[in-house]
Structure 1
Amino acid sequence: MSNLADPAFREVKEPQGGPQVSSSDLFRLNNRTIVVTGAAGFLGREVAGSILEAGGDVVCLDVVPTPPPESWEHLEGVAKTHGGVIRYLRVDITNHDNISETFASFVPNLRHPIRGLVACAGVSDNDPAHEFSAERFQRLLEINVVGTFSVAQAVALEMKKADVSGSMVLVASMSGTVANKGVDTAAYNTSKSGVLQLARSLAAEWGSRKGMPLIRVNTLSPGYIRTAATAEALKKPGMESQWTGDNMLYRLSTVDEFRGPVLFLLGDASSFMTGADLRVDGGHCAW
């Protein structure tokens, strides 16, 4: 079936007169499988649950052998409630062969073709730049940039095989746009800036390239999120007041506040949006 004729995923190049999807369905993900990397992490787990609630199936990928048991039980309950399917597979996104083998193992058993990707997988590391080794810098780029590209490529190839259009959300950071006060994160900031450019470049190719389906590619740039992962940094004297005071809402975000932005970028509500960055930072970068 041609992707442009598929009513389950509206991706048209020009309006045909009048809305093609009802307002109530703009954030729905019915009849779509969405791949989520970094799915064992705080953001990945939250995103997976939101996709299930919106009617989609989810394939969760992460490097850890198993996700946190309590969180996974919750997600399985969400899947059951909403008639969805969720799977977890271990994958190393820095290993191209591992990615290919993993996709070959699960794609034939999917209920619906892959129509989306949320690339949450990424790591951070910090130290003064004059003490930061080239090996640590390279590791960040390998995971955050090359790994993101490798999974995006694998997803795009599956969309091509199935002849379906889709949407990708690459998780960047406000740190790809600005330098963070009070922390030494030159390598991390550089990697997230690379994700921003990667998304723009992929969007340029897959928005109009002959031989490929229409694939929208956007980035989500979160601001500071209050999680167990940021708790250690906030122990530094003055860091809590600095981080909260650096944005216009004068607080840190919570991970659930990124559900809406991700669903917006994945679904039909953002059908004319590609190559763009959706920055959700409480106004940090707007001063």
Structure 2
Amino acid sequence: MLLRDKVALITGASTGIGAAAARLFAAEGASVVLAARSEDKIAALAAEIGGVAVVTDVASDEDCARAVSVAVERFGRLDVAFNNAGIGPDGVVLTDSTAWDTTLSVNLTGVAQCMRHEIRAMLSGGGGAIVNNASTAAFFGTAFASAYSAAKHGVIGLTKTAASEYGRHGIRVNAVNPGVIDTPQTGPWLSIPGERERAATWNALKRLASPSEVAEAALWLLSDRASFVTGAELAVDGGYTAIAPGVG
């Protein structure tokens, strides 16, 4: 029960890593607020785990503020937050301004907006913990994913800066950096013949991860077991970033 009596907010909670985190956090004792754009999915999941659903587009500052407000109004405070919402690699060149703006508004601005409101709530409550979902794309340039990679680099900058600013107030801020995870978002790519097998060769463990494995990492970072960990980047990638390309 690593989150016993904690109030948790999860963005992007309708599917994949977010849904796995919602189930896990609830099982570990948290009261969970699920935020996502898909009303039907989060309503069903909230009913399953006894949580609260809030339809949220993290690109909207008003939506981010409302999600935090619901947590505080319903449960009296906000203890932990997993900023997981995001969209996949853009697959376009820098000159496509629409794709650039859309990707940055969700994957970077959305995280910043959520953090702004979460931190305010946590300051009022005497502290808390935040985990931002970044990516291994935050560690290096990623071909054909210019906006995605730039956004994820920015998430790490936000994470480290907030950790520096708010540690003295009892708020820890960390990031998880997943590698290739078997989720609905990666499904179309992994369903291409040979791609699932090829992607599995990229890391040291020679397999893909499940969403629950990322959720477990976020759980630990948000729990009191990680009480002296802040400003960290935790790679959940099977050793992908630890080995040289083509080696292993």
TM-score w.r.t. the length of structure 1 is 0.79
> Does the CA-based 8 Å contact 2:36-2:85 persist in structure 1?
yes
Whole-Å separation in 1 of the counterparts to 2:138 and 2:203: 16
Look up the equivalent residue of 2:158 and give its one-letter code.
L
In 1: Cα distance, 2:151 partner to 2:26 partner = 30
- Equivalent in the alignment of 1:223: 179
Q: Please give the secondary structure, in 2, of the residue aligned with 1:58.
A: strand
Residue-by-residue CA offset, 1:93-134 (whole Å, 9 max, x unaligned): 222233334433442221x5211110010111432426x511
Consecutive aligned runs of 4 or more in structure 1 exceeding 3 Å deviation? 68-74, 101-106, 235-238
Which residue is 1:48 aligned to?
22
TM-score by length of 2: 0.90
- How large is the RMSD of aligned CA atoms in angstroms? 2.0
Match of 2:127 in 1: 165
CA distance in 1, matches of 2:61, 2:9: 16
Could you say if the C-alpha distance between residues 59 and 44 of structure 1 is closer, same or farther in structure 2, counting changes exceeding 3 Å?
Answer: same
Does 1:206 pair with 2:201?
no
Cα offsets for 1:18-70 (capped at 9, x unmatched): xxxxxxxxx62122101111111211111011111111111111122232666
Does the aligned pair in 1 maintain the 2:13–2:42 contact within 8 Å? no
Which residue does the alignment assign to 1:23? none
| Whole-angstrom CA distance in 2 between matches of 1:179 and 1:239 | 21
**Conserved 8 A contact 1:66-1:90:** no
Identify the match of residue 227 of structure 2 among 271, 278, 281: 271
Mapped pair 1:122 → 2:82:
no
Which residues of structure 2 form unaligned runs of 5+?
A: 244-248
Which residue of 98, 122, 132 corresponds with 2:63? 98
What are the superposed Cα offsets for residues 196-216 of structure 1, whole Å, 9 maximum, x if unpaired?
1110011010012xxxx3100
Give the drift of 1:152: 0.9
Letter paired with 2:146: A
Residue 113 of structure 2 is aligned to residue 150 of structure 1: yes
C-alpha deviation, 1:241, in angstroms: 3.1
Query: Does residue 149 of structure 2 align to residue 189 of structure 1?
Result: yes
**For residue 196 of structure 1, what is the amino acid of its counterpart?**
I
Stretches of structure 1 that go unaligned for 5 or more consecutive residues are 1-26, 77-85
**2: distance between equivalents of 1:103 and 1:268?**
21
Partner of 2:246: none
- Cα distance change on mapping 1:235 and 1:66 into 2, 3 Å: closer
- Structure showing greater radius of gyration is 1
Could you tell me how far 1:267 is from its partner in structure 2?
Answer: 0.7
1:109 has 2:109 as partner: no
- On the 8 A contact 2:36/2:42 being kept in 1, the answer is no
User: How many residues are matched?
Assistant: 243
Mapped to 2, the partners of 1:185 and 1:109 lie a distance apart of: 39
Question: What residue identity is the alignment partner of 2:200?
Answer: T
